[in-house]
Amino acid sequence: MNPFRYGKTVPLEFQCPQPALERTLLGHLRSGQNVLMQGDRRMGKSSFLTHALAPKFGRRVYKVDFSAVKSVDAIVRKMIWALEQFENSANLLNRARKGASRATPAISVGGLSLSFDPARPLAAARIEEVLTALGEGGRRHPILCIFDEFQDILRLPPNDAEAVLAQMRSVIQHQTDVPYIFAGSNRNRMHGIFNHPASPFFKSAATVEFGPIPIEAFTAWITARFSDGGRKLPAPIAARIFEATQRVSGDVQQLCSALWNVSSARETLGDAHLDAAIDLILGEESKTNELIWAELSERQASCLQVLAANPLLPPAGADFARLSGIHSASTVTRSLDSMTDRGLLFKQEGRYSFFTPFFRMWVHRKLDLPPVPQLPEPHTYEPDSADPARAEEPAASYLTGSRQRTRSLRGGRPIRSPLG
Ligand SMILES: Nc1ncnc2c1ncn2[C@@H]1O[C@H](COP(=O)(O)OP(=O)(O)OP(=O)(O)O)[C@@H](O)[C@H]1O
Ligand SMILES: [Mg+2]
């Protein structure tokens, strides 16, 4: 059986252990400290929280995933429905049901499943009732609360987002016996919620960074899994895997899974296997990628092409605009921002990266671009005017992050373009 799994939350047996992170988190939780946990997409946050941390903490978990929420109503429903995940939670549900039913007379209750009249949206005020009921239940059966993709609350119109956060905060701040973990993958938005003085959550949680798994431990883990299946993974091939994937856990496992599929027991893995594994992934993803490509405007496609060949080139600089044949840097950043909004790119400290390394490789191969220069380790990009205080500087509004966006687009350290 292929020992690698990707694309969703994975159980403990598919996770490289992270004892240091566990110790840090458990220390915070045991002292009743709420935690802000931020890390990039596919790093393994949800898997770690659900399958590694929560069982060690030994409490029942109340988990709400706020990804892609579009309305206050959706948030309140998600929070109420999450109560279903509890074992022995009949009492809790009764309390929550009472609160919800006052807002939605058409509520139908049967067993543990709750349904609401879609014509009657639930208001932010219900959040207080849900969390209060939860807190009361927590006094009898200790609870750990995990709010995943918490930053997506900021996708709501600013007034709605503020109302939701204010409601949450008004209860959470008094729940000294219920630890909360707020996990998120969008640094700007999470930073805004927890570090902007105007935010109800200002400085309300200890920050824990969910970075890549330490390379020695990750290397030993994948090597052992290949070895259990009779395959030898030499260190240089392991290094190439991590270089290609930037140690993003989900991408590492996707590449390892493909490597497993193109090899057999008693083989020593080499460059040819790795190339075949990448071919396999690009082949599997090509249909989807072609569809994505077909929907791009000419301008977007040329920006993507320049980015694929020049990942270190500052996007707001004149070189980027010249290479992409676009007259102004602001047009380039608008194109890149729109692809970020569509989830094709992500943006960190003014730099854009492809959402997955395999999409970048696909663009590269499709367009027959020159070789990509080696990428830096994640999080090592230094803006030109390195100012340690800058990261702490509040945006004009934590709800829109407007100042942060403008500032973060200032140039970075110039590099020579391989195309120029
Ligand atoms: N501890 C781990 N060791 C190795 N690989 C892992 C580990 N945890 C997760 N992964 C890999 O990462 C993938 C993504 O995991 P998960 O969904 O938990 O990440 P996430 O950070 O919550 O992602 P997202 O931000 O997209 O929700 C998994 O499918 C798995 O392949
Ligand atoms: Mg997740």
Per-residue pLDDT in tens (0 to 9) along the chain, 420 residues: 999 999 999 999 999 999 999 999 999 999 999 999 999 999 999 999 999 999 999 888 889 999 989 999 999 988 888 876 664 444 555 555 555 544 443 333 223 334 556 667 888 888 888 888 788 777 777 889 999 999 999 999 999 999 999 999 999 999 988 999 999 988 888 988 999 999 999 999 999 999 999 999 999 999 999 999 999 999 999 999 999 999 999 999 999 999 999 999 999 999 999 999 999 999 999 999 999 999 999 999 999 999 998 888 999 999 999 999 998 999 999 999 999 989 899 888 888 999 999 999 999 888 877 665 544 444 433 333 333 333 334 456 767 655 433 222 222 332 232 222
Residue 248 Cα to ligand 1 midpoint, Å, equals: 8
Do residue 268 and residue 185 come from a single domain?
Answer: no
Query: Which residue has a Cα nearest atom 17 of ligand 1?
Result: 9
In a domain, 229, yes or no: yes
- Please state, in angstroms and rounded to a whole number, the distance separating the CA atoms of residues 412 and 38: 24
Tokens 């110039």 belong to residue: 414
Tokens 């205080």 belong to residue: 389
Do residue 234 and residue 359 come from a single domain?
Answer: yes
Do residue 103 and residue 199 come from a single domain?
Answer: yes
Per-residue tokens: 99: 């609160």
- Please state, in angstroms and rounded to a whole number, the distance separating the CA atoms of residues 255 and 243: 11
In a domain, 95, yes or no: yes
Per-residue tokens: 15: 């996770």
Residue 268 Cα to ligand 1 midpoint, Å, equals: 27
The count of structural domains within the chain is: 2
Q: Is the pTM of this model over 0.85?
A: no
- Does the CB atom of residue 15 touch ligand 1 within 6 A? yes
- Does the CB atom of residue 185 touch ligand 1 within 6 A? yes
The domain boundary residue, chosen from 209, 242, 260 = 209
DSSP-derived letter for residue 229 is T
Do residue 252 and residue 187 come from a single domain?
Answer: no
Do residues 129 and 164 make contact, with C-beta atoms less than 8 angstroms apart? Answer: no
Query: Which residue has a Cα nearest atom 11 of ligand 1?
Result: 250
Do residue 44 and residue 166 come from a single domain?
Answer: yes
Do residue 174 and residue 42 come from a single domain?
Answer: yes
Do residue 198 and residue 249 come from a single domain?
Answer: no
The pLDDT of residue 253 is 98
Do residue 155 and residue 50 come from a single domain?
Answer: yes
Do residue 200 and residue 98 come from a single domain?
Answer: yes
Contacts of 412 (CB under 8 A, 6+ apart): 314, 317, 350, 351, 381, 382, 383, 384
In a domain, 297, yes or no: yes
In a domain, 132, yes or no: yes
The pLDDT of residue 371 is 61
Do residue 113 and residue 152 come from a single domain?
Answer: yes
In a domain, 172, yes or no: yes
> By residue range, what is the domain housing residue 150?
12-209
The pLDDT of residue 50 is 92
Do residue 168 and residue 279 come from a single domain?
Answer: no
The pLDDT of residue 96 is 57
- Does the CB atom of residue 92 touch ligand 1 within 6 A? no
- Does the CB atom of residue 8 touch ligand 1 within 6 A? yes
In a domain, 350, yes or no: yes
In a domain, 168, yes or no: yes
- Does the CB atom of residue 5 touch ligand 1 within 6 A? yes
Contacts of 344 (CB under 8 A, 6+ apart): 292, 304, 354, 355, 359
The pLDDT of residue 398 is 67
In a domain, 403, yes or no: no
Residue 227 Cα to ligand 2 midpoint, Å, equals: 29
Do residue 257 and residue 190 come from a single domain?
Answer: no
